Structure 1
Amino acid sequence: MNENELMGQMKISKAVAKMAVPSVISSLVTVVYNMADTFFVGQTGDPLQVAAVSLTNPIFILMMAFANMFGMGGSAVLSMALGAKNEKRARQTSSFVTYASLIVGILFAVILIVFMDPILAVFGANAETYEFAKGYTFHISYGAPFIIWSAAASFIVRAEGSSKEAMIGSMIGTVANIILDPIFISVLNQGTAGAAIATTIGNILASGYYLWYFLKKSKVLSLKWSDFTVRESILTKVCGSGLPTAIFSALMSVSTIVLNQLLVVYGNDPVAAIGIVFKANMFITFLQMGIANGVQPLLGYNYGAGNMKRFRGVESYTKKCCLVAGIAATALYFLFREQIIRLFISDNEVVFYGVDMLVAYMLSGPVIGFLFVNMNCMQSVGRALPATILSVLRQGILLIPLLYLLRALFGLNGVILGQSVTDYIAVILSFFLWRKIRKLLEKQAAH
């Protein structure tokens, strides 16, 4: 099958399925990876340890902000260099991403270890959760260089055309973490510290695999210090291209800190519950995100080919798929809401808060897919800025003020409703923005 047959001729339902299914699987693997630490710490039955993992989650999110900036930005620069047959620039880009990741990772480790007390205080750790949070933070800190580089390297390897090898590297880290979590947390009785040790070892193993790939399999990727440079616009192009994703992740980290600070006033049980809900609800969100992201090449190809009829067909069908998947997943979660929380922990107080929070977070479940499809449509027609604005609004600039406003009006119930209210505002805004862009494109096409 050639590219044109899949992208431009195949029946839309079949083409969407062919593109979306692998993307959905990849997204759900990410969900499982993110759930692992909270799930296995929850099996200790100690809500304070679950709360500590929730409180320290922004650290990992912030590491991913830098990993995505170097990885996605490096991928864009590397792809252009390979397309231009500029092997020197390809080597420089891969070397820059490697050493920039390691340097930032080492800085992360130093800052976390030296300033651990004030950092954990800002995150909302109190006398009951401090020791657990400290154990997790210490062991995740020395893993920072490996966590950041292994995630960035997966983008670079994929940009060279080796998507299978990129997936293998990611899977090594995920599987290792899932296997090691119960060993360190329960068998060796390390609790939250064990979760961090498992995460660090998983990323060290993934880094080892990418190291082997760079040295033995890759034709152009380089680890040589002599290829490292910040000149020739390498630094500005890599960081500039990856900056929107980094801002998105950084704001997500900030909003998580704010949410935990608002909740810890009501005790550690709501903090433990929101950590579980945040991870559990990822299934509904990432299922639809996977569908939307999977069809982006279809949208881009047909826009580039000037086939707006097929573009609109793909858009419409994908939105229907997201709506069906969103309604089905949300209904399933609503029916089994208590059982889902009890999968993670059996503490009755945490379960009580968790059930209410899960229902609140699920309110936007049926429609959140529309936001992702509209954003991908914008990106596919070269309008990345409004898509980035929507992401930034949803993860921080709109969410954070709303959390404070809703808490002032409705207390704890207002805090837990913040994300769904933000989601609905972002979905409505995305329809207005995309409709405006689409009308402009159709007007230009008519002339």
Structure 2
Amino acid sequence: MPAVPTADTGPGMPNMDDPKNIYLLKEAPVFKALLSLGIPMAAGLAITSIYNVINSYFVGHYGTVEELAATGYGVPVFGIIMAIAGVFGLGSSTLASRLLGEGNETRIRNVTSFALYSALACGVVVAIAGFLFADPITGLMGASGASFEPTKTFVHLLFLGAPFSVGMFTLEQLVRSEGYAKQSMYGIIWGVVINSIFDVLLIAVLGWGIAGAGWAMLAANAASMVYYLQFLIRKSPNFSWKPSDFVIAGDIIKPVFAVGAAELIQSANLTVSALVLNNIAAGYGDDSVAAFGLAMRLNMVPEMLCMGICMGGIPLFAYAYGARNRDRVRSALKTAAMVSVATSIIFTTPVLILRRQLLELVGDSSLVATGEKVLIALMLAAVFNAVSIVFVSWFQAAGKGLPATLMTLGIALLFFPAVIFGNMWFGFDGLTWAFPFTQISACVLGVILFFATGGTKVKDAPASGTPEHGVTEIKVESE
């Protein structure tokens, strides 16, 4: 039976028996809850970006040019691994949050056990496949000549660490699903610390070069995974690492993979978009490629903050949806949209005003002229992107896999024709303005999908995770 609010425990009436993390999800003022969940997530995303910077510094300073290039060639491989991690991480965590709102603790244990062991098993399969096909994968990444062997070494280690990478991300999402936002961030910080220590030891002291960078990343992800695992075992009464709680059932697999598929498409879209954009922009010269690179890095600030707010808010949306609390769902979504748009405007306005001065710090007059066009287009697109992120986050939180997938797939289907035909018909200006066109169109698509799927309407029947009549369930028995 789903949890039914009473006069003492309904929205706005604090229940002193609830732990702080549940209080945030259940009844804390929405604005406070959103910031408490979103700020650590945004900080975690920012800290995560330090990984590549640290590795690049040590490899570039103590290694060779070919080894430094290998870190770049390996990025798509790591992106693929993390995209797979997103299937289990986001899919299972949103389901767990909805079940938490329903009060269905028993099924949460089945979901978390399924997520843990499925993620680890998938990571092992990816690792084996990566080792078997390392040579063609390395070539596919673009490595050749003197950079081939260093890249192959790095790719080998990325695949070797796949079980830890997938397991770490899945457990981190499960930690967030129960409202433990700060602990999620602590695990990320712990990983960065371990990564830095091993970079110093393996690259600077022992001179392992690119191999040292690979082992450092592996150790960091393993350390973070252990942190999240021990935290959940100690603190969460809903988490289960027991094989006896592992079940294969349609009411678990369907929502996990429905939401996870959207995350997989989104990750793949980011990788392919970067490749397509770089190849087209290269036709206009190095200044154009540099301008897009700089503008995207500046655009990452508001985008990362908006993603942090919305991803941090996903457990809040999901819990309220599972608890059938429509008023809280509506309030949380409105607040997330307003905070995301306001954040985007606050951070893009100074960049637009000072765009020439910022560009002059890093380039000559040619880069400034090109960069101004790109910055204006990307900064305007950022506001609409903030709204798109809210829609995608809501669909994922509510377990609405089809609209979430259509939203992420729609962005890809809008972006690629806009870039290709914009470039064909209007040259560099068409290429540049493909970004705001895509994001405005995505917002319109989001509005259509939002109302077509019932808006914030909650179901009377159990939203998720309750075994239904006729659903086959396979349970692993252990002595």
TM over 0.5: yes
Give the aligned partner of residue 30 of structure 1.
Answer: 45
TM-score (norm 2): 0.69
Residue from 235, 250, 253 that aligns with 2:271: 253
Give the aligned partner of residue 405 of structure 1.
Answer: 421
Query: Matched residue of 1:4: which SS?
Result: coil
Pairwise CA RMSD: 4.8
Instruction: Give the distance between the partners of 2:376 and 2:54, measured in 1 at CA.
Output: 19
Instruction: Give the distance between the partners of 2:31 and 2:337, measured in 1 at CA.
Output: 11
Give the aligned partner of residue 425 of structure 1.
Answer: 441
Aligned 8 A contact 2:175 2:184 in 1:
yes
Instruction: Give the distance between the partners of 1:78 and 1:374, measured in 2 at CA.
Output: 20
Offset at residue 285 of structure 1 (A): 0.7
Instruction: Give the distance between the partners of 1:23 and 1:16, measured in 2 at CA.
Output: 10
Aligned 8 A contact 1:150 1:203 in 2:
yes
Structure 1 letter corresponding to 2:386: G
Unaligned runs of at least 5 residues, structure 1: 8-13, 442-447
Give the aligned partner of residue 381 of structure 2.
Answer: 364
Offset at residue 145 of structure 1 (A): 0.7
Instruction: Give the distance between the partners of 2:251 and 2:330, measured in 1 at CA.
Output: 37
Give the aligned partner of residue 4 of structure 1.
Answer: 11
Aligned 8 A contact 2:30 2:331 in 1:
no
Pair 105,21 (structure 1): closer, same or farther in 2 beyond 3 Å: same
Residue from 404, 407, 422 that aligns with 1:390: 407
Greater mean alpha carbon deviation, residues 418-427 or residues 72-81: 72-81
Instruction: Give the distance between the partners of 2:224 and 2:437, measured in 1 at CA.
Output: 38
Alpha-carbon displacement from aligned partner over 1:251-303 (angstroms, at most 9, x marks no partner): 33343444455567778997788667655532211212333455563798499
Give the aligned partner of residue 122 of structure 1.
Answer: 140
Query: Matched residue of 2:217: which SS?
Result: helix
Structure 2 letter corresponding to 1:29: G
Give the aligned partner of residue 161 of structure 2.
Answer: 143
Instruction: Give the distance between the partners of 1:436 and 1:122, measured in 2 at CA.
Output: 41
Pair 129,146 (structure 1): closer, same or farther in 2 beyond 3 Å: same
Offset at residue 179 of structure 1 (A): 5.5
Greater mean alpha carbon deviation, residues 359-368 or residues 158-167: 158-167
Instruction: Give the distance between the partners of 1:151 and 1:380, measured in 2 at CA.
Output: 17
Give the aligned partner of residue 467 of structure 2.
Answer: none
Give the aligned partner of residue 129 of structure 2.
Answer: 111
Aligned 8 A contact 1:214 1:221 in 2:
yes
Offset at residue 146 of structure 1 (A): 0.2
Structure 2 letter corresponding to 1:111: A
Instruction: Give the distance between the partners of 1:274 and 1:377, measured in 2 at CA.
Output: 30
Instruction: Give the distance between the partners of 1:129 and 1:342, measured in 2 at CA.
Output: 33
2:339 counterpart of 1:325: no
Greater mean alpha carbon deviation, residues 268-277 or residues 205-214: 268-277
Offset at residue 37 of structure 1 (A): 0.6
Alpha-carbon displacement from aligned partner over 1:183-207 (angstroms, at most 9, x marks no partner): 6666766665554433222101112
Structure 2 letter corresponding to 1:288: C
Instruction: Give the distance between the partners of 1:141 and 1:214, measured in 2 at CA.
Output: 26
Pair 361,439 (structure 1): closer, same or farther in 2 beyond 3 Å: closer
Offset at residue 429 of structure 1 (A): 3.2
Offset at residue 224 of structure 1 (A): 4.4
Offset at residue 144 of structure 1 (A): 0.8
Instruction: Give the distance between the partners of 2:450 and 2:252, measured in 1 at CA.
Output: 33
Task: Output aligned runs, 1:6-21, within 5 Å.
Answer: 15-21=30-36
Task: Output aligned runs, 1:337-356, within 5 Å.
Answer: none
Give the aligned partner of residue 83 of structure 1.
Answer: 103
Answer 1 or 2: which has greater helix percent: 1
Instruction: Give the distance between the partners of 2:92 and 2:84, measured in 1 at CA.
Output: 12
Query: Matched residue of 2:381: which SS?
Result: coil
Query: Matched residue of 2:49: which SS?
Result: helix
Give the aligned partner of residue 200 of structure 1.
Answer: 218
Aligned 8 A contact 1:113 1:138 in 2:
yes
Structure 1 letter corresponding to 2:418: L
Instruction: Give the distance between the partners of 1:225 and 1:100, measured in 2 at CA.
Output: 11
Offset at residue 62 of structure 1 (A): 1.9
Unaligned runs of at least 5 residues, structure 2: 1-7, 15-28, 458-479
Instruction: Give the distance between the partners of 1:357 and 1:113, measured in 2 at CA.
Output: 40
Pair 289,85 (structure 1): closer, same or farther in 2 beyond 3 Å: closer
Structure 2 letter corresponding to 1:30: L
Give the aligned partner of residue 303 of structure 2.
Answer: 285
Offset at residue 23 of structure 1 (A): 0.3
Aligned 8 A contact 1:41 1:192 in 2:
no
Structure 1 letter corresponding to 2:52: D
| Paired positions, count | 431
Offset at residue 5 of structure 1 (A): 1.9
Instruction: Give the distance between the partners of 1:281 and 1:377, measured in 2 at CA.
Output: 23
Offset at residue 439 of structure 1 (A): 9.0
Pair 420,41 (structure 1): closer, same or farther in 2 beyond 3 Å: farther
Structure 1 letter corresponding to 2:12: E
Alpha-carbon displacement from aligned partner over 1:29-77 (angstroms, at most 9, x marks no partner): 2133124314652684898777654443222222222212112333355
Aligned 8 A contact 1:101 1:152 in 2:
yes
Pair 322,212 (structure 1): closer, same or farther in 2 beyond 3 Å: closer
2:116 counterpart of 1:101: no
Instruction: Give the distance between the partners of 1:270 and 1:52, measured in 2 at CA.
Output: 24
Alpha-carbon displacement from aligned partner over 1:157-185 (angstroms, at most 9, x marks no partner): 44466555444333322443355556666
2:195 counterpart of 1:177: yes
Structure 1 letter corresponding to 2:441: I
Instruction: Give the distance between the partners of 2:129 and 2:408, measured in 1 at CA.
Output: 28
Instruction: Give the distance between the partners of 1:272 and 1:15, measured in 2 at CA.
Output: 41
Query: Matched residue of 1:75: which SS?
Result: helix
In percent, how many aligned pairs have the same letter? 27
Query: Matched residue of 1:230: which SS?
Result: strand
Offset at residue 118 of structure 1 (A): 2.7
Instruction: Give the distance between the partners of 1:275 and 1:38, measured in 2 at CA.
Output: 15
Pair 419,50 (structure 1): closer, same or farther in 2 beyond 3 Å: farther
Pair 264,29 (structure 1): closer, same or farther in 2 beyond 3 Å: same
Give the aligned partner of residue 156 of structure 1.
Answer: 174
